Structure 1
Amino acid sequence: MASGWANDGAVQDQIDSTIEDAVARARSGLPKGESAKFCEECGEPIPEARRQAIPGVQLCVNCQREKDLHNSTFAGYNRRGSKDSQLR
């Protein structure tokens, strides 16, 4: 289907790019290295089961929950390019 200046697969390319960016952002937030025995934020002990389940974990469950809530506000980029989104 002809859509002006866009290539035939332009919409799918935008979708793929958005997904790749989201996956890369999620992977960059994964812990790496050796797990800590005590939380970096509050100093509480991190349970052994959590340290084994998530290699490289540095935060206790409560501090991780707070961090996740703070990071969930990421809006990303508007790749739709609709006229309405450009006028706002």
Structure 2
Amino acid sequence: MASGWAKDGAVQDQIDSTVEDGINEARQRLQRRGPSLHSCEECDEPIPEARRQAVPGVRLCIECQAEADRRQSHHAGYNRRGSKDSQLR
């Protein structure tokens, strides 16, 4: 049953699009290319051996990675594909 301007299955389409966007963003952030660095490419501090083994291809220390994650998180939670119907509520 459709409501307003939304087609049948519009809510599921929005959910699928949001999940797909999240997966694509996570894949882009993965840096598994090449060997792990021994020092952070941002601050030049040494990256602990345990981190280099746990995260293949790691390029940032924990502090710089946390800052990079904070910069990325401001984009989360906004559904750019919201239907006209959901924007009017």
Please say whether Structure 1 and Structure 2 have the same fold, judged by a TM-score greater than 0.5: yes
Residue 4 (structure 1) shift: 4.5
Over the aligned positions, Cα root-mean-square deviation in angstroms equals: 1.8
Q: Name whichever of 68-77 and 46-55 sits farther off.
A: 68-77
Matched, 1:83 2:84: no
Identical-pair percentage: 57
- Taking the aligned partners of 2:6 and 2:23, their CA distance within structure 1 comes to 25
Structure 2 gaps of 5+ residues are: none
Q: Distance in 2 between matches of 1:28 and 1:44?
A: 24
Structure with the bigger RCO (C-alpha within 8 Å, sep 6+) is: 2
Q: Can you give the 5+ residue segments of structure 1 that lack an aligned partner in the other structure?
A: none
What CA distance in whole angstroms lies between the structure 1 residues aligned with 2:81 and 2:8? 20
User: How many residues align structurally?
Assistant: 84
**Cα 1:56–1:64 shift into 2, 3 Å:** same
Q: Aligned to 1:68, what secondary structure does the other structure show?
A: helix
State the TM-score, normalizing by the size of structure 1: 0.82
Q: Which residue of 2 aligns with 1:42?
A: 43
1:10 maps to which residue? Answer: 10
